[in-house]
Each structure stands twice: as structure tokens, then as C-alpha cells.
Amino acid sequence: MKKILIIKLLLILLLIFTNSVQGQLKIPENPKKIYPVNDYAGVLSDIQIQELNKRLIQYSKKTSTEILISIVRDLYGEDPNFLASKWGNKWHIGKKYKNNGIIILLSINDKKISIQNGYGIEPYLTDFTTRRIIQKITPLLKKHLYYKAIDISSKEIFRIMKNEYINKENKKNHFSKWNLVFSIGVFLIMFFFLCKRGIDPSLLNILFLTNIIFKKKYSDNEDRFDGFGEGGNFGGGGSCENW
């Protein structure tokens, strides 16, 4: 009888251990190009993903801050705060040395949301403010309005982080744009001056071609997106709530 009880106990323990191992949520491997929105639960439409990606990419280019949205179907018992922070570290969300990454993690079946910050974000986006953001969007999550909830939460982060981490590269591009305008203005003035003097204005072709190349290079820099994940570290705090 004792042997039977021991065998049953061992089988139960084995079953519990097997389920716990199978139930762990594995963070996906880093994609070759990390986009802001990663919907593994399929709750957003393609158009909604495109709109959010566009807005978050533009924000990243302007401020260098990277906001990653991760939506999963189930946490399988994992702690959402720990998982979000671990996800951010694995994908290196945020700039290296700035550590200005933010993770918004949603679990649909668990009805849980977590917002976690990189170390550099902590002074601006505190545990209190992240909790306020979550409380604001909770009614939307209860109605399954996931897109609207994410949209509002990201805009709240934009508002709180206003004028923080302004991207220096963006300032350089803005300065370069005015350089382009100035160069074209100089070109036109010299063109009319040479025409008036009777000098062949074709001498300005080199300058004209230079301006075209400069303009194309500027446009390419504006449109290019290399993806998130540039060496950021997490552990700067955050909040988690049920909806």
C-alpha cells in the first residue's frame, strides 16, 4: 500500500513539474528588425498596427526613446513585471547608455497590463505615473478596445516625457534642411548674377547636382528606420494592474 501511495505521489509531482515547464512563456528571439508593435495574440488589425508603428517610430526618431508594445495571449503564470523587464533586456530596447526604453505588455487571457521602464526613464516616468496611465485605460481594456487603450497610453507617455531625450540627430537633420534651403537660395542668386553678366550659367551645374545629392541624402535619413533595440537596459521600475 505504501509503495502505491509513493508511486502516485511521484506521478503527481512529475505531472506538476511537467505542466510548469511546458507552461512557461518563452520570450521570442530578437527579430532582425524590431518594430514597436508585436501582437502575438492577434487582437489588432493590420491597419491599427501600421498606425501605431508609424507614430511610435516618429516619436523614437524625434526623442530617441523606444516604446515597445508586446501583446501575448497568456502569461502561463509568469509575473508580468518581471517578464516585461526581461523582454526589454533581451531585445535591448532603448539607446545604449541612455537606457530610455519602455515596454507595454498586455496579456489578453490574464487581463493584465504592465508598463516597465529602462533605467534612464525612471526619473520621468515613475511608478505612480505608470499606475495612473493604466488606471486611465482600464475601462477601455475591459471593453476589448485594445488599440484605443494603447493609443491613449502612448500619448500619455509622450505628454509626460515632453522635451526629454530630444534626439540630437534629429536636430542635426533639421539644421541640414536649412542648409539645403540656403544653398538653393545662393544658387538662384548666382544664376541670375551670371546671366546678367553674360557668363555661361552652366558653370553652376556642379553646385546644382550637389544640392540634389544633398537633398536625396537628407530624405533617405528621414525615411530610414533601422529598428529598435540599440543596447538599452531595464530595471527602472513600473506598474502592473488587472483589468
Q: What is the pLDDT along the chain (243 residues), one digit of tens a residue?
A: 555 545 444 444 444 444 444 456 889 999 999 999 999 999 999 999 999 999 999 999 999 999 999 999 999 999 999 999 999 999 999 999 999 999 999 999 999 999 999 999 999 999 999 999 999 999 999 999 999 999 999 999 999 998 776 665 544 444 445 555 555 665 566 655 555 656 555 555 555 555 554 454 444 444 689 999 989 999 878 999 999
- What SS3 class is residue 49? helix
Instruction: Say what angle helices 146-160 and 46-63 make with each other, to 10 degrees.
Output: 10
pTM: 0.72
- What SS3 class is residue 42? coil
C-alpha cell at 133: 496611465
DSSP letter at 165 equals: S
Q: Are 211 and 184 in contact (CB under 8 A)?
A: yes
